[in-house]
Structure 1
Amino acid sequence: MTSAPDEAATAPRPPGTAARMLRPLGYLLVGLVWTVLALVILGLGPGILVYVAVDGTMEVGGIWAGLVEQPSEMVAFCLVVPLLVVLWGPGVLWYLPSASWPLAALSFVYVGRSLMPGYADERLSRTTRVGRGRTIGLPTVGGVALSLQPVRETALTRFLMRFYVSGWLPDGRMFLAMLPAGAGWLLALVGLARDVPAPARAVLLVAAAALVLWSVVLGRRAWRRRFDGTAAPSTTKGSVAELSAGERRARLAELTARREARQRRSPGR
């Protein structure tokens, strides 16, 4: 009986009138910002290859001649290549896109929900915190706040949240799966140079496509191991026993709010 006041105190309050009026614009602006970031990241990955292919002026002969003449630069080049494979494979081709476009898509989903009467009296998104070292990005002193998570889940938001989790809470299997794609990106970049002989260009591009396909196969396996047959992914800690007292109260309040929302929507309840 003593827990009732705590539940009421921690339950999320419905948005006020001003918040309901402003949140369509707010979510729209947030969605546009994340869309721009996603497009920039897309330009760093496949976009560079498209530009090189369309421009048709890139040459690698001079670069290679300079490396051969300077052994120290050749050593540096050999050290940089694995770094580029890691940065462009798991980083630019997977983690960064997954950490950006799902947030844009979720924001636009909330724009639509904010215009629907059925969502007028409830919050549309929530923020949770995860421990430091669990997310991508620079090290932080405390936990990291992950926002724009849906309060009311649907098949669409569950689908988007899987990419969201893949980007912000990376796992080792997907990291390894995307390494061949990073090598394929480099081979494709060289193969698109205009001074590469046609037979060598064909070999490089075929090898690049094979490496990308290999990453697709490995990535699909990693995805299924992580998500298939499980509940919707969560960015909170794994079990209730791992949560602090405040986090347990917040989770209880969230479940209570969802149950009350379902009761309001159900006729005759």
Structure 2
Amino acid sequence: MDIMKQFSLEGKVALVTGAAYGIGYAIAKAYAEAGAKIAFNCRGQEHMDKALAAYKKDGIEAHGYICDVTREDEVQKMVADIEKELGTIDILVNNAGIIKRIPMLEMKAEEFRQVIDIDLNAPFIVSKAVIPGMKKKGHGKIINICSMMSELGRETVSAYAAAKGGLKMLTRNIASEYGADNIQCNGIGPGYIATPQTAPLRTPGHPFNSFILSKTPANRWGTPEDLMGPAVFLASDASDFVNGHILYVDGGILAYIGKQP
């Protein structure tokens, strides 16, 4: 067995939702370097133009599609277009997501529903759209971007934690339901990653920044690049007997009780 070939994505078609920047972009870039053809979505043309320019600058031929992943009709059309232009999707990364940091008693039900819709309903919709092609082809990889909030609660993130906890169980259920079709569904649970979403929390002197560093054995924020290797592993043949697993890439936070005061 050539172990390096086990990690190759040569010729595979990968759809990474919300891969205009941040974690999704880093994962798509890793897949391209491993040999995959890259498809991604944006909800608007402005973000799409910026993303395509970034991919081009990095020497990546990425195929962008305007699509709202909470709308089943748009998702079905996007998947059909990808299959027509690139081939059957081998790898799906459900990365698109939002967070609203609002105390529960101040959060409107409409705001709660919006987070659930994007962070939980959309992965269901997109997975549902790609699974038939994967079944027909005889294999497939679905990777859901979960969170430490799939395991832990924290003030102001009730909707996000509820969505990511649900996504963890959706991951396990897809693995249970379609494992016999040689489809592996796993999750990645990032720790606190330096992205535009977390930028407000990482300002110098911000108490949350100090809190995170004190709770992380690695003593730093993660980077999108820290997720590239785990994402390639879960998309490759090397993980063919890994199913229903959440791989936490968190610098050790979930293993650590914290320093004694």
Q: Verify same fold: TM over 0.5.
A: no
TM-score by length of 2: 0.24
The structure with more strand, counted as a fraction of residues: 2
Which has the bigger relative contact order, CA under 8 A and spacing at least 6?
A: 1
The structure with more helix, counted as a fraction of residues: 1
